[in-house]
């Protein structure tokens, strides 16, 4: 494992550090927006006074704090970087492979080096055909065993959101809205599902995380909705969803390919509008994660 000098120094000095994942860069967003979004997320974290730690695996080395150049290498299509969930990281290391980490893979690494906050776009969850496919993202089980706070705009709207919320409940993951009691719907600000808890400030979110971890080994999902002005039009969203499911069914995709295929069809169907929304929300999540990490670092002795 290689921890960049900047991240190592920040951790040593007890400064706030925010982990950022790379699956969204390599498998979630189209080029060249992907690299641009990754660096804007890093800028957002820095503006909050924290240090970003973008995580991925290059040639079997887990890198915490990828440089822009390393990120560009990881995102090169010909490299065919694998999508690494928590179970895959060790395998990729042992076999000397390249891979981008999902939320599950990222928190496994981040927690190990002492980072406690991460940001993403939308958490993975229970897929709509899960009663047949058993497809439930390992992001949920990873959060059920890792004491991390993840800032996300809810879970991706391609999922069964109600079922995902039930699983988060069963798994003991705390779900807290940021300035809302409505669970966000990723491309849409409101999924239509209510949540029990909300906080109004990053300091409150940090206090929730610090208290939660006294009583539970699980994580916290801080649900930050995309601004209503920035969300995808409701009707366009419904049409894009239908088209995405249609394409996935025709291609017969399963497993880790499902989410990237659905997101890519969203981008095609909406002529890039979904990419713009995804970009806006993940940058906002990185900023909020920075504010929370800052507050966490200031509340620790
Ligand atoms: N958020 C986004 N785009 C993405 C992801 C999150 O805006 O592509 C990625 C994350 O890495 C998350 C993964 O962990 O999607 C979920 O994949 P799956 O459904 O295969 O578990
Ligand atoms: Mn899956």
Of 95, 77, 99, residue with least CA distance to 22: 99
C-alpha 71/C-alpha 65 separation (Å) is 10
pLDDT of the residue at 51: 98
The per-residue b/e assignment along 253-271, b for 16 or more CB within 10 angstroms, e otherwise, is: eeebebbbbbbbbbbbbbe
pLDDT of the residue at 301: 63
From 83, 156, 265, 291, active-site residue: 156
pLDDT of the residue at 282: 98
Ligand 1 pocket test: pick from 139, 221, 281 the residue with the most ligand atoms within 8 Å of its Cβ.
139
168: number of CA atoms within 13 Å, CB side? 27
C-alpha 257/C-alpha 188 separation (Å) is 23
Q: Which residue has 């991460």 as its token pair?
A: 118
Domain ranges of the chain: 2-299
- Other Cβ atoms less than 10 A from the Cβ of 112: the count is 13
188: preceding bond cis by omega (within 30 degrees): no
What is the homologous superfamily of the domain 2-299 according to CATH?
A: Indigoidine synthase domain (3.40.1790.10)
Cα 57 to middle of ligand 2, angstroms: 20
pLDDT of the residue at 124: 98
pLDDT of the residue at 300: 73
| Atom nearest to 139 CA in ligand 1 | 14
Cα 223 to middle of ligand 2, angstroms: 21
pLDDT of the residue at 133: 95
80 flagged as catalytic: no
Encode the chain (301 residues) as per-residue pLDDT tens digits. Answer: 999 999 999 999 999 999 999 999 999 999 999 999 999 999 999 999 999 999 999 999 999 999 999 999 999 999 999 999 999 999 999 999 999 999 999 999 999 999 999 999 999 999 999 999 999 999 999 999 999 999 999 999 999 999 999 999 999 999 999 999 999 999 999 999 999 999 999 999 999 999 999 999 999 999 999 999 999 999 999 999 999 999 999 999 999 999 999 999 999 999 999 999 999 999 999 999 999 999 999 997 6
């Amino acid at each position: 494992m290689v921890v960049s000098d900047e991240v190592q120094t920040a951790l040593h000095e007890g400064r706030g550090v925010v982990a950022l994942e790379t699956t969204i860069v390599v498998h979630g967003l189209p080029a060249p927006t992907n690299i641009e979004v990754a660096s804007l997320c890093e800028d957002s974290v820095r503006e909050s006074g924290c240090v970003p730690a973008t995580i991925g695996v290059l040639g079997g080395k887990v890198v915490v704090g990828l440089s822009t150049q390393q990120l560009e290498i990881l995102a090169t299509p010909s490299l065919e970087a694998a999508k690494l969930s928590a179970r895959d990281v060790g395998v990729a290391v042992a076999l000397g492979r390249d891979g981008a980490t999902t939320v599950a893979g990222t928190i496994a690494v981040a927690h190990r080096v002492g980072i406690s906050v991460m940001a993403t776009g939308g958490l993975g969850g229970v897929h709509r055909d899960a009663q047949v496919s058993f497809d439930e993202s390992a992001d949920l089980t990873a959060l059920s065993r890792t004491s991390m706070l993840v800032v996300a705009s809810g879970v991706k709207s391609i999922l069964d959101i109600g079922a995902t919320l039930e699983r988060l409940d069963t798994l003991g993951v705390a779900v807290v809205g940021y300035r809302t009691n409505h669970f966000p719907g990723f491309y849409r600000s409101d999924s239509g599902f209510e949540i029990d808890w909300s906080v109004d400030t990053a300091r409150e979110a940090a206090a929730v995380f610090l208290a939660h971890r006294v009583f539970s080994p699980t994580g916290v999902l801080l649900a930050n909705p995309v601004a209503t002005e920035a969300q995808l039009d409701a009707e366009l969203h419904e049409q894009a969803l239908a088209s995405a499911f249609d394409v996935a069914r025709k291609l017969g995709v399963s497993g880790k390919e499902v989410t990237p295929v659905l997101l890519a069809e969203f981008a095609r169907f909406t002529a890039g509008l979904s990419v713009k929304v995804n970009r806006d929300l993940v940058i906002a999540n990185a900023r909020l994660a920075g504010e929370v990490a800052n507050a966490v670092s200031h509340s620790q002795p």
